[in-house]
Structure 1
Amino acid sequence: MNATSSKPGPDTVGTPDTSEARQAEAIADRVKAQTAQPVQLQPLRLADPLRWLVRGLDDVRAAPGIAVFYGVCFWAMAVVLGWVFRTRPEYTMSMASGCLLLGPFLAMGLYDTSRRREASLQPQLSESLTCWDSHMGSMGMLVLVLVVLELLWGRASLVVFAVFFNTGMPSTTGVLQAVFNPQNWSFVAVYTVVGGVFAALVFSTSVVSIPMILDCDTDALTAGITSMRVVIENPGVMLLWGALITLIVAVSLWFWGVGLLLAGPVLGFASWHAYRAAVIPLQRTAAMG
């Protein structure tokens, strides 16, 4: 008997490893092919933001229980922010950063509700509360970026106050007097410019990034870049959308922010429709359950 005939040949030994290596290469090639192609965007029209709001109202009527729950959450955060502004106005932006840790996850719950309705599925509050668990890595990175921007915004605001009020931080009444005092126009101008720059950064980074992470399970970098592309390629529409959000939130804050009970869910649902109107994802990989 030939002793060497019982020994496995080199091809027999290497076959499993070679097969696994080829599968890994195929997967890597597919990933490279997907990442090499930029996400496609759709042109937007000036009338689109109003259409998004109307569709947001439709979602509220279709899922009133879910809308009320998230509306109460947004209202509670507004009440806390209002209390901080009245007692320690210099820490308002820092407190807003803390709310920003929770805000994106609440918003994603509203996006999940709109997404399920769009797919002819029954929205569930329990599902919306946990829809972020499979996107924790991307959401964590994006929220970290937003929190850093908010902290820098808060620090810049403190610096502006310190420069123009070298005798100490003003009270809430002092802040309001400073804003409406014609002699302090330079303070108002600098504060507005600084706030506008950071607000634009936060808005452009997040306007479609969070719904994109939910919808496509993409990474935070791709989602953030896509969001900025949407703003850059549709500046007029996005400026109008940002102005509408600011106006609706500002009006909702009257009477102890009760208006947020409705405005919060409507804007959340509308933001999902803004994403769907602006972005054509390459592939949707997130399961809806």
Structure 2
Amino acid sequence: MSTHTGPAVFHPQAARMNLPGIRSVTADQPFRWLREGAADLARAWPLSLFYGILFAVLGYALVHAAEDKPHLAMALMSGFLFVAPVLATVFYCVSHRLEHHHKLPQLFTPLLSWRANPGSLGLFTVMLLFVLISWERISAILVALFLNGSGIGGLSDLLSLDAVQQHLSFVLAYFAFGGVLALMIFSLSVVSLPMMLHRRVDFATALVTSFLATRLNFPVMLLWGVTIAVLVAIGMATNFIAMAVIFPWLGHASWHAYRALIERE
């Protein structure tokens, strides 16, 4: 269980919202969350690795099913970061049990964790689906603008070093649009999803709390977001093999990030 020694707590005020206190965290905290996440993974490895392998196979299948459509494959690859917080709810459920020294749930019980707050979690999922659809259209537009007539026929062609050097303007534009969108989704989801599972809060309250927690700890949260992006990129670079371990590790660590950032009830 995480322990905290007297961090500063901010109590935000918002009309008709009962927002929890938000802690100020230090730059070493993301590494502590990773250690705590690794400890949870080690304690619940059969369950965590089962879901890690399941989601890694899902990610691999989605990306490689669109191999001959570069814009769609790239949208799904980067979009994996957008929808990952919803998939990670199974690991929040497991870490919550471990924190309270409860027996680990049955194999498929974490998939039902959404029942703790179905309305709010459903709205969040709809929002993420809208973002993913929008990102697919943006990807298609960027590919059409920068790569039309380039002769690139598949994702492997696009990810080659020669293609990156020849189409650097496309790479920069893609990362600019994707980075802004990823930062927005990160700021809205880093706290909100575990909070909606842990407390019966509404969709708006969870999103506002997550955004404020990110804003108030922006340098640390930026470091946390970059850490997540780098580890996910490593998982994808290994053809999703390493993702089987990286995904549950980050899922458990994200639970500890929530517990460190939000004041306890």
Query: Structure 2-normalised TM-score?
Result: 0.84
Query: In the alignment, what sits opposite 1:195?
Result: 178
CA distance in 2, matches of 1:95, 1:170: 18
Q: Cα offset for 1:184? A: 2.8
Bigger fraction of residues in helix: 1
Post-superposition CA distance 1:169-195 (Å, at most 9, x none): 832244235874444332222111111
Amino acid paired to 1:277: A
**How much does 1:167 deviate?**
2.9
Cα gap change, 1:189 to 1:106, in 2 (>3 Å):
closer
CA deviation after TM superposition for structure 1 residue 119, in Å = 1.2
1:76 to 57, 60, 64: 57
2:257 to 260, 274, 278: 274
Instruction: Find the counterpart in structure 1 of residue 146 from structure 2.
Output: 164
- 1:90 matched to 2:71: yes
Larger radius of gyration: 1
Whole-angstrom distance in 1 between the partners of 2:255 and 2:145:
40
Which of residues 113, 126, 130 is equivalent to 2:94?
Answer: 113
Q: CA RMSD in A?
A: 2.6
What SS class does the counterpart of residue 170 from structure 2 fall into?
Answer: helix
1:153 alignment partner in structure 2: 135
Give the counterpart letter for 1:218 in structure 2: V
The Cα shift of 1:82 comes to 3.2
Which letter does structure 2 place at the counterpart of 1:81?
A: L
- Deviation for aligned residue 1:46: 0.6
Distance 2:166 2:149 in 1: 17
Q: Distance in 2 between matches of 1:246 and 1:98?
A: 12
Contact 2:147 2:170 in 1 (8 A): no
Residue of structure 1 in register with 2:197 after alignment? 214
1:138 aligns with 2:123: no
- The equivalent of 2:5 in structure 1 is none
Give the SS at the match of 1:112.
helix
TM-score, with structure 1 as normaliser:
0.78
Instruction: Give 5+ residue unaligned stretches, structure 1.
Output: 1-32, 284-289
Unaligned runs of 5+ in 2: 1-13
Question: Aligned residues: percent identity?
Answer: 33
How far, CA to CA, are the matches of 2:165 and 2:17 in structure 1? 54
- Assess if the C-alpha contact under 8 Å between 2:30 and 2:220 holds in 1: yes
For 1:236, the equivalent position in structure 2 comes to: 219
Q: Deviations over 1:117-158 (max 9, x none)?
A: 111211213432222123111111011111111221221111
Count of residue correspondences: 250
C-alpha separation between the residues in 2 aligned to 1:257 and 1:264?
10
CA shift for structure 1 position 85: 4.7
The one of 118, 126, 129 equivalent to 2:111 is 129
